[in-house]
Structure 1
Amino acid sequence: MDDVQKVRIGIIGTGVGLRTLLPGFRAVPAAEVVGLVGSSPERGSAMAEKHGLQAYSSARELCESSTVDLVCVASPNTYHHADVLCALEHGKHVLAEKPLAMTVAEVDQLIKAANQTACLAVVDHQLRFNPYLRAIRSMIQNGELGRVYYIRVHQQGTGFSDLNAAWSWSFDADLGGGVRLAMASHLVDLVRFWVSDRSVHAVSGALDVVVGHRPNASGDATSVRASSFVGAELALGEQLRVQLSATAAAFSGSRFDCEIYGTDGELRFDLVNKLQASLRQTRGKLTPIEVADVFTDERENRVSIFSGSFRYFAPRLVAAVAGDRSATADASSFSDARANQVILDAILASARCGSAVVLDEGYSCNALV
């Protein structure tokens, strides 16, 4: 593909948009990032100049541009619905950061809008394209673990344990901050990707701000109402229990741990040891699982699993926009976003009332005592 045929990309947002999306797309020869929208025209102009991009004054101006094929929505969460809708209404392909919207009703509106266009419309759940996490899915779906009955996924970072962390929209409940939407959305989607055939019967959730006040831009203590910790337990069909947790206020370092237990074996993944298995024929010991086509810096744990995983997703997105929709057949769709939103809403409702939220009657347990 020569320069004339390159997929032209515009990014709304200067956080994840610049940290993850920009370098991911710039590594794809068939792509060119051409435009940027910031939280203000001033910030947008400054960041665009720094990264050699054209600055747009608003999401609408970017979406109206005839020189943009794919719009990446990476604005604060409460703006996702309006920005995605604007892009779709202007005939643009869309990659939306999670959550797709703030409510199920908003997601439904975006599903309707996406169904009225032939454009690509997917959510940036890039973990689906990480080779290690795809290997887990393959082993589950190929039956190598037997019936999977327990999954645990834990993610942590240390940024919010800093009492002097600069105020940002991540601490602002009104802007959709908090790790429930930022991180539990990823974990819920990943589990659904692994076991998409299982119904979610009930959800229990827990949320905690951890640090109750943060200094704002003026240095004044400001109340925090957005979660820095989220925990959830999901009861799925076929006796599957899932425990998810994420904290942005850890102290020991970054982690991303997965454990999957089945009747014929178990899998473990972490950032240091990567993927290991103990199957019936190797019972009693963990054996490394070799996974192909992994970037060296990921094998050596020198890159975030999130920005690292996007590098596998980016070329597929470009190929899909160029016409090969099979390249993103496994991507998280807007319908997936709806299913995720139902679970995220249940986590919030459960955390507020202290009781499980039943989504689907009919769960049964095979043990009597």
Structure 2
Amino acid sequence: MTSPVRVGVIGLGAIGQSLLKAYSADPDVQVTAVCDVDASLAETIARPLAASAWTEHRSMLDAADLDLVYVAVPPRHHHAIGLDVIAARRHILCEKPLALTLSEAQDLQRAAQAAGVVHALNLPLHGDPGIETFRRLVQEGGLGALRRAELTLVFPQWPRGWQHNPWIGGREQGGPIREVGPHLLHVILTTLGPVTRVWAHTEYPAGDPVACETAALGTLELAGGPLVTVSCLTNVPRPEQVSLTVYGSEGTAGLVNWAVPLMALGQAPLEPVPFERPQMPAGARLVRELVGHVRGTPGDLVDFTMGVRIQAVLDAWERSSTLGTWVDVDVGQA
């Protein structure tokens, strides 16, 4: 019989625990070790899994027999901890965004490629049948020439009710553009192509130098010239909205509620489009792909190269917001 893939988890916040359930439910995975700076939490999570509990990730990497490590800590720690995981020659899954800066993301990409380990980013929309249907509609659905796209992000509160980590509301690591943006940037990059330059304007709470943005407007210029307008607004009395609309010369395709595809040709109203295959929980889908990769079977993962491309756009967004000008995306590295 094939031995189970031995997994270690570093970071046991809301996101880490969520994917931990998918690891635990997969018959080909054994959660061998968990690590968190909160010793009591680590012990509590480890006990029913018969896993070892750690508060220091290097000790876990030295002592535990692991094939794959999931890095689910806040973004400022991705670089240092990720490099330690790769240096220990463990395959790695990292939360998004890959790092805080483009240079950090590039470090992780180069290290993982040099080490020959599996490297992946946790982007749950990847492989979603709604997203795949949307991508087919844009690329093969008869929309004609791309005219423009619009990304809209509205959150009635930020952080959202289930996000209990204080850093998500902070300017250094959190905010909706950094936290939610990578999901939709991945869809844009894989559906519409590279982003070449960015213009952004960001609004922050008055008198609070550490709080994240409350609103943002921006434009992403795609290779070839079409534009993607971005509108983000938080703390307004409206339901959450995450939508992406693509306008062509002959028709329109859209995503609503993150991953529900819509389409219209001509002036017809947008109508939902059935998925092309059944839905599968994102965590279970990701764990299946990871198991296959670790065992040497090619599969479909978002690797660190895409993580660098996303980070390049995020970096350009932040620089543009600071400078008040268009900023080129570092396409040479992204």
TM above 0.5, yes or no, is: yes
Match of 2:103?
Answer: 105
Task: Name the structure 2 match of 1:189.
Answer: 186
User: For this pair of structures, how many residues does the alignment match?
Assistant: 330
Q: How does 1:330-349 map to 2 (within 5 A)?
A: 331-349=301-319
User: Where do 1:270-281 residues align within 5 Å?
Assistant: 270-271=256-257, 274-280=260-266
**Gap change, CA 1:39 and 1:154, over 3 Å in 2:** farther
Q: Does 1:269 align with 2:266?
A: no
> Which whole-Å CA distance do the structure 1 matches of 2:205 and 2:228 have between them?
23
User: Is 2:224 the counterpart of 1:226?
Assistant: no
Q: Aligned equivalents of 2:306 and 2:291: distance in 1?
A: 21
Matches within 5 A, 1:35-114: 35-49=33-47, 53-114=51-112
Q: Distance in 2 between matches of 1:318 and 1:155?
A: 33
Instruction: Give, in angstroms, the shift of residue 336 of structure 1.
Output: 1.8
Superposed counterparts of 1:1-369, under 5 Å: 5-49=3-47, 53-142=51-140, 144-160=142-158, 168-174=166-172, 176-196=173-193, 198=194, 200-210=195-205, 224-271=210-257, 274-280=260-266, 283-295=267-279, 309-325=282-298, 327-328=299-300, 331-359=301-329
Compared with structure 1, are the counterparts of its residues 85 and 272 closer, same or farther at alpha carbon in structure 2 (3 Å cutoff)?
Answer: closer
Residues 1:122 and 1:273: Cα distance change in structure 2 (over 3 Å): closer
How far off its partner does 1:107 sit? Answer: 1.9
CA separation of 1:78/1:360 partners in 2, compared to 1, >3 Å: closer, same or farther? closer
**Cα pair 1:25 1:315 within 8 Å, conserved:** no
Measured in 1, the distance between the counterparts of 2:12 and 2:90 equals 20
Find the aligned partners of 1:180 and 1:121 in 2 and give their Cα distance.
Answer: 24
Contact preservation (8 Å) 2:129, 2:279: no
Distance in 2 between residues matched to 1:127 and 1:273, nearest whole Å: 7
Deviates further, 182-191 or 245-254: 245-254
Q: Does the CA contact (< 8 Å) of 2:33 and 2:60 recur in 1?
A: yes
SS at match of 1:127: coil
Task: Determine if contact 1:149/1:239 at 8 Å carries over to the other structure.
Answer: no
C-alpha change, 1:167 and 1:285, in structure 2 (3 Å) is closer
How far the C-alpha of 1:265 sits from its partner, in A, is: 1.5
CA RMSD of aligned residues (A): 2.9
User: Whole-Å Cα distance in 2 between the matches of residues 228 and 29 of structure 1?
Assistant: 43
Q: Which amino acid aligns with 1:137?
A: R
Change in CA separation of 1:268 and 1:53 when aligned onto 2, cut-off 3 Å: same
Decide whether aligned partners of structure 1 residues 348 and 278 sit closer, same or farther in structure 2, where only a CA change above 3 A counts: same
Query: In structure 2, what residue type is equivalent to 1:227?
Result: E
Q: CA deviation at 1:118?
A: 2.2
Q: How far apart are the structure 2 equivalents of 1:89 and 1:18?
A: 22
Q: Conserved in 2, the CA contact under 8 Å of 1:184 and 1:244?
A: no
Give the direction of change, closer, same or farther, for the CA distance of 1:50–1:244 in structure 2 (3 Å limit). Answer: farther
1:360 and 1:112 map into 2 onto residues whose CA distance is: 16
Q: Deviations over 1:212-245 (max 9, x none)?
A: 66xxxxxxxxx63333444431011233211234
C-alpha deviation, 1:332, in angstroms: 2.5
SS at match of 1:125: coil
Q: Say whether the 8 Å CA contact 2:156–2:235 is kept in structure 1.
A: yes
* Paired residues of 2:196 and 2:220 also in contact (CA < 8 A): yes
Q: Which deviations, in whole Å up to 9, do the C-alpha atoms of 1:176-214 show, x marking residues without a partner?
A: 222332122222222112123x4x23211132334866x
Deviations 1:259-317 (A, max 9, x none): 1111232112212993221125xx42333311143448xxxxxxxxxxx5344323212
Q: TM-score, normalised by structure 2?
A: 0.86
Distance 2:258 2:95 in 1: 27
